[in-house]
Amino acid sequence: MSGRDVALIKLGGSVITDKATLRVFRKDACRRLAHELSVWRGPLAIAHGAGSFGHILAKEHRLHEGFKEETQLKQIALVQRDVRELNVRVLEALIDSGVSAVSVPPAAAASFDRGKVVDFDPTLIDKTMALGLAPVTFGDVVPDVSMRFSICSGDLMMYELARHLKPRKVIFCADVDGVFTGDPKKGDDASLIPALDREAIAGMKRDAPVSADVTGSIHGKLEMMLAIAGHCEKCIILNGNVPGRLESAMRGEDIPSTTVLPG
Ligand code: IP8
């Protein structure tokens, strides 16, 4: 798949689920986002987070730390089932809005060691996209060489997809307008940062995540976005909860957001 027309979109787990309540799907938000991204006329690749279908049980049973005890096995099965259930709901929303979306679980395209990708095989992604289908991958529990299993975040798959597809646009849909100078959710007098580079990201304060999150929260995301920015024309984070923002960004219009700059 040649790169420059491709759009790569992450539907954040905090937008498509209620992250604080086990297995609550935010159907209206997901369907609206699916409709908004359907305005893109070129090839699409999509990843979504696990939200409350993954993080709550994964944290409770320390699945991100790899194999500790037999009792985790049932929890792996439950989390795998739950994130697949979420994936099906996302697929339904996409298909209903005209995007021919198909599921590509991370382990179908990558092998993992110590929570990192050691081998990315793009065959399935390429064949899918060559047919005109949109691959949809997601955060999941995956086999891991050293840890026996580990957590693969949707962001890690975003990085592998960006490296391979060299997309024109990479868009992360979050539950805030972008990155702020403080925490707007805590009532800080914070302003939106329109663009961030490596130095600015390295200098940011590292607050603990507010909800159960086994994949590193906003800082992990920004580091991943920095790595992605080197493989695409534009990499932005925007507010997926504000109707129209994703659609405007797909159309190339200016909206409140943060662009992560390469280098
Ligand atoms: O929500 C996490 O994926 P993310 C996957 O994209 C699990 O970070 C199973 C918690």
Please report, in tens digits, the pLDDT of each residue of the chain (263 residues total).
445 699 999 999 999 999 999 999 999 999 999 999 999 999 999 999 999 999 999 999 999 999 999 999 999 999 999 999 999 999 999 999 999 999 999 999 999 999 999 999 999 999 999 999 999 999 999 999 999 999 999 999 999 999 999 999 999 999 999 999 887 777 778 899 999 999 999 888 666 555 557 887 678 889 999 999 999 999 999 999 999 999 999 999 999 999 999 97
Residues 6+ apart with CB under 8 A from 227: 159
Q: Is the CB of 83 under 6 A from ligand 1?
A: yes
For residue 215, the ligand 1 atom closest to its alpha carbon is: 8
Tell me if 201 sits within 8 A of 262, measured CB to CB. no
Q: Which residue among 140, 142, 149, 219 is best mutated to probe the pocket of ligand 1, counting the most ligand atoms within 8 A of its Cβ?
A: 140
Centre of ligand 1 to C-alpha 51, Å, is 7
Centre of ligand 1 to C-alpha 189, Å, is 30
Output the pLDDT for position 211: 52
Output the pLDDT for position 186: 76
Q: Is the CB of 151 under 6 A from ligand 1?
A: yes
Q: Is the CB of 16 under 6 A from ligand 1?
A: no
How much is the pTM?
0.95
Which domains does the chain possess?
Answer: 7-260 (3.40.1160.10)
Q: Is the CB of 155 under 6 A from ligand 1?
A: yes
Q: Is the CB of 58 under 6 A from ligand 1?
A: yes
What letters, b where the CB count within 10 A reaches 16 and e where it falls short, cover 147-160?
Answer: bebbbbbbbbbbbb
Output the pLDDT for position 207: 64
**CA separation for the pair 137, 108 (Å, rounded):** 10
Q: Is the CB of 139 under 6 A from ligand 1?
A: yes
Centre of ligand 1 to C-alpha 89, Å, is 16
Centre of ligand 1 to C-alpha 7, Å, is 21
Output the pLDDT for position 80: 98
**CA separation for the pair 66, 37 (Å, rounded):** 35
**Atom 7 in ligand 1: which residue has the minimum CA distance?**
54
Output the pLDDT for position 2: 47
Q: Which residue among 59, 215, 218 is best mutated to probe the pocket of ligand 1, counting the most ligand atoms within 8 A of its Cβ?
A: 215
Q: Is the CB of 56 under 6 A from ligand 1?
A: no
